[in-house]
Structure formats: structure tokens, C-alpha cells
Chains A and B, each alone.
Chain A
Amino acid sequence: MRIIKAAIVTGVVATLLLSTFSIGYAQDEESFIREPVLSKSSALLLSAVYPGLGQMTSGQKVKGVSLFLAETVSLVLAVNSHESYNTKFKVYKKELGLYEKGFDTYDEARAEYLDLKDKNTELDDLNTLRNSALIAAGIVYAYNIFDILFMGPDTGTQADASSRMHLQSTMIDHTPGILFSKSF
């Protein structure tokens, strides 16, 4: 579990650095719309690796960063609550074993029962939290894949792009304009 945590933290730091570099690279003042860097299949592959990466590299930086952060927060919450659950469960299991051995007086049994009941409620809450975080991570991942497949920008391939007409907004001497081009 510690290895998974370290991998997640390393991934977060690496991707934040990559995002910062990518944002700087894409902000060309002559281009009104940030053009996609990779093809759609590459963006799909990146999104399959981690939510948001495909969007970030296909021009949808805000959406990409949002998906990335949402997935990271969900996973960190799931991992943390899972670890807390496992730690508390070990203690609870030991105390439950002692409780089931029996007591000599009703008062002792009752006090221990009430304590175990509180711990059981705490474990229920942690289990709900980790499941909710895991489901949230799954939903973000599913939306990320759906977005890249059906809603992302149509990057196409180099060969396709070159044979089509292009109509796009651009900046000409710091003035917004429209550029029409056709490749032969």
C-alpha cells in the first residue's frame, strides 16, 4: 500500500511538472486556439493511463487538469480510508475475540459491548468512505474515456489534416481574425 501511495505521489508531481511545461509550450500568441499536439489515438492511450492526460495534450487543458485533480483526490481518499480501515479493523478483531471469550459480570460485558459498537460504527463509516471514493474515481475514469472517445477535439492524423480545408480563428498583429487554408 505504501508503494502505491508513493507511485501516486510521484505521478502527481511528474504530471504537474509536465502540465506546467505543456501550458507554457502551447501559449503561442499567434495562435488564438491552442492546437492539439498529439493524435486522437495517442490522446486516448494517455487518457487510459490516467484521466486528464489525453485532454491536456489534445488542447483541453482546463478539463484535463480538472479530471486529473478529481481522479487524484478520489484515489488518495480511497487509499487513505482503506489504510485507516485496515489498521482499525486489526484492533477491532482482537478486541472482538476477547469479548467473545466472555466476562464474569454483566457490567463489564455491557461496557465492552458499547465500546465495540462504537468501533463497529467507525469501521462502517470508513468502509462507506473508501467505497464512495473508489466509485468516484471509477466514474471520473469512465467519463474521461467517454470524453476522449466521443466529445474530444477531432485531431485526426497528419495525412487526413493535410488533405482538408481548415477554417480557424487566429491572431494577426494582435488582432483576432479568421484563417482559411487548403492543402493540395
Chain B
Amino acid sequence: MDSVKKIFMAVTVILLVFMVYSCSKDHDAPTFSTYAGAKKATNVVATFDQDAEVFTISWTMDDTEDVTDYYIVVSDSVNFNGTQFSTPVNSMATTYDMAADFITIHPDSTDSFSAVRFFAVQAVYIVDSGDNSQYFVGPRSADSDSALYISQ
């Protein structure tokens, strides 16, 4: 009986060890390191010239490596998840004059209205500068100075 006991104990221990190591996880966690190089524009300031009906937006971009363009984004929501309009700057300048096209930024505009608009800037990165260039639109800036109260 002693040898039988030893065999059973050994089998039980082996079974326990097998159970502990048999179910290792198959999944890997996702990484965001690919997009870590994309930076936000800072110090975004928007002003409105009512007479000329022009918005002037200025910003700062500390690291312009691989940056090829900028997008100006206008929204009626501080989280930019409402009505939204964006336009490319088409240059590396850090200031942009945008015509106050009220139909574009406020589809239901009438002759006179008042509203708050939020402005943000996104840097456009060039990912592949070969024959088939690929672009990546970076993160949106988020500055409180970019909010404007418009009244007409």
C-alpha cells in the first residue's frame, strides 16, 4: 500500500503543477507607443474682428518634426463632439485668418445671432514621404483661450 500511496501523491502533485501552468494567457495588451510622438499645439488664441468678419487664430507648436500642415477645428461644443467644421491651413505658419462664414459654422444662422464657438488646432504629420505619402492628424489642442463669444 505504501508504494500505491506514493504513486497517488506523486500524481496529485504533478496534476497540481500542470494545472497551475497550463492556462497561461494568450492575449497581449495594446500599446499606444506608435502615436506617442504626436504632439498637441499649445497657446491657441482666437479673436474675432466683427467689422472685417474675420477670425484670427494663433498657436504655438514646440516640436515641428514631421509636421507638414495644420487643421483649424471649430465647434459649438467644448468637447468637440457636436457640430464641427475644420479647414487646413496649407502652410507651416502658426497664425491663420479665417473668414467668418456663418453658414459654415452655424448652419441655421439668421441675420442676427449670438453663440459660443470653440477653436482647436491639430498638427498634420507625414508618416511616409515616398510615392504614396500617408498623413496622420495629431491630437487636438485644448485651451480655454480658444473659446469665443460671437454676437451679430
Contact = CB atoms under 8 A, between A and B. Distances in A.
Interface residues of A, number: 36
B32 A106 contact: no
A142 B30 contact: no
A104 interface: yes
Interface stretch (B20-28, B42-50, B90-98): B20-28
A109 interface: yes
A115 B37 CA distance: 21
Interface residues of B, number: 31
A167 to B, nearest CB: 24
A105 interface: yes
A50 interface: no
A166 interface: no
Interface string A105-143: 111011001001100100110010011001101110110
Interface string A26-65: 0000000000000001001000100000000000000000
23 contacts: A41-B1, A41-B4, A44-B4, A93-B27, A96-B30, A102-B34, A104-B137, A106-B122, A106-B136, A106-B137, A106-B138, A109-B35, A110-B35, A117-B29, A120-B29, A137-B19, A141-B12, A142-B12, A142-B13, A145-B8, A149-B5, A149-B8, A149-B9
